[in-house]
Amino acid sequence: MCSFGWSWTLQTNMEAKPSQGLYPLHRCKTIHLVRHAQGIHNVAGEKNHDAYLSEDLFDAHLTPLGWQQVDNLRKHVKASGISNRIELVVVSPLLRTLQTAVGTFGGESYRDGVDATPLMKAGAGNSDRPAIPSLNCPPFIAVESCREHLGVHPCDRRSSITKYRELFPAVDFSLIETDEDVLWKPDIREENKDIAARGVRFMNWLSTRKEKEIAVVTHSGFLYQTLNSFGNDCDPAVKSEISSHFANCELRSVVLVDKCMNSSDPPVTNYPGKIPSGEDLPSDIADEKK
């Protein structure tokens, strides 16, 4: 009797404020969002914001401290088991994001007698790093739609795809339509509402992918504007967990739910039941038929 009363009170309190979401598992993906490590533009911009207008920061590369941040994030994804589960790495086609992506999620060291195309050639992007192998790691694909704010700041203008293919041979650049950067304009800075809309389209594209666990290596502004489009139905503290600004080389894991049937993947864990077939009239339906 006491137990029944407690459970009824608990049920009543839970019903007073619905706080959960329930979705089919096959319509959910785990997305590991990563902001790039410290770049030379971050250091210069911290000292003087006008430095972001300098051509010296064109397609900014990582600093030595940034590479240390990458090393530490790599240790984390290894220790946590994330690296074993990721099926795809999506990366913004700028030097700092490419370096962060391959440094964090790239393959193991070369072994005797094993030859594989490197993800990154030795010394790429003014680094002192050895070549990063593509052995035993997920595929990497570069996508323009997760770039930083477009325009005005030279650090956000990318190099040619021809150059990137030379530096990052095992990264797939096939989804990028033009060799040169035609999206970046010297006198027009992309507005926040436009990058947010671009980010939502990017998330919709992710939902169509077959992979269930994906890493995305991108930028602070892109993440902040995109993620603020989500979580409006959550408690403010939960929305803040989703959309607050990222630190350099921060990783934040979220679940992306396809509510609009973007994906056609069938459920792989569901079981149809009734094998072999037999009488199966549920009692609640029987009551309705009385």
Q: Which of 192, 181, 197 is nearest to 142 (CA)?
A: 181
**pTM of full prediction above 0.85:** yes
Predicted local distance difference test score (pLDDT) of residue 14: 52
Burial class (CB in 10 A: 0-12, 13-18, 19+), 97: buried
Alpha-carbon gap, residue 239 to 32, rounded angstroms: 17
- Say if strands 251-257 and 28-35 run parallel, antiparallel, or are unpaired: antiparallel
Q: Which of 171, 173, 170, 151 is nearest to 161 (CA)?
A: 173
Confirm whether 60 is domain-assigned: yes
Q: What's the token pair of residue 209?
A: 């992918």
Confirm whether 290 is domain-assigned: no
Confirm whether 242 is domain-assigned: no
Confirm whether 169 is domain-assigned: yes
What phi and psi, each to the nearest 5 degrees, are found at residue 256?
-100, 120
Predicted local distance difference test score (pLDDT) of residue 279: 85
Confirm whether 282 is domain-assigned: no
Q: What is the pLDDT along the chain (290 residues), one digit of tens a residue?
A: 344 445 545 555 555 555 688 889 989 999 999 999 999 999 999 999 999 999 999 999 999 999 999 999 999 999 999 999 999 999 999 999 999 999 999 998 766 666 789 999 999 999 999 999 999 999 999 999 999 999 999 999 999 999 999 999 999 999 999 999 999 999 999 999 999 999 999 999 999 999 999 999 999 999 999 999 998 888 899 999 999 999 999 999 999 998 888 877 788 889 888 889 888 878 777 566 66
Confirm whether 107 is domain-assigned: yes
Residue 183 is given by DSSP the state S
The structural domain count of the chain equals 1
Confirm whether 141 is domain-assigned: yes
Domain that holds residue 101: 25-211+220-233+248-259
Residues annotated as part of the active site: 36, 148
Confirm whether 75 is domain-assigned: yes
Q: Which helix (H) or strand (E) holds 215?
A: strand 213-218
Predicted local distance difference test score (pLDDT) of residue 3: 43
Predicted local distance difference test score (pLDDT) of residue 4: 44
Tell the residue number behind the tokens 């590991």, with chain if given: 32
- What is Dmax (Cα atoms) for the chain? 80
Alpha-carbon gap, residue 6 to 14, rounded angstroms: 12
Q: Map residue 29 onto helix, strand or coil.
A: strand
Q: What is the CATH number of the domain that holds 124?
A: 3.40.50
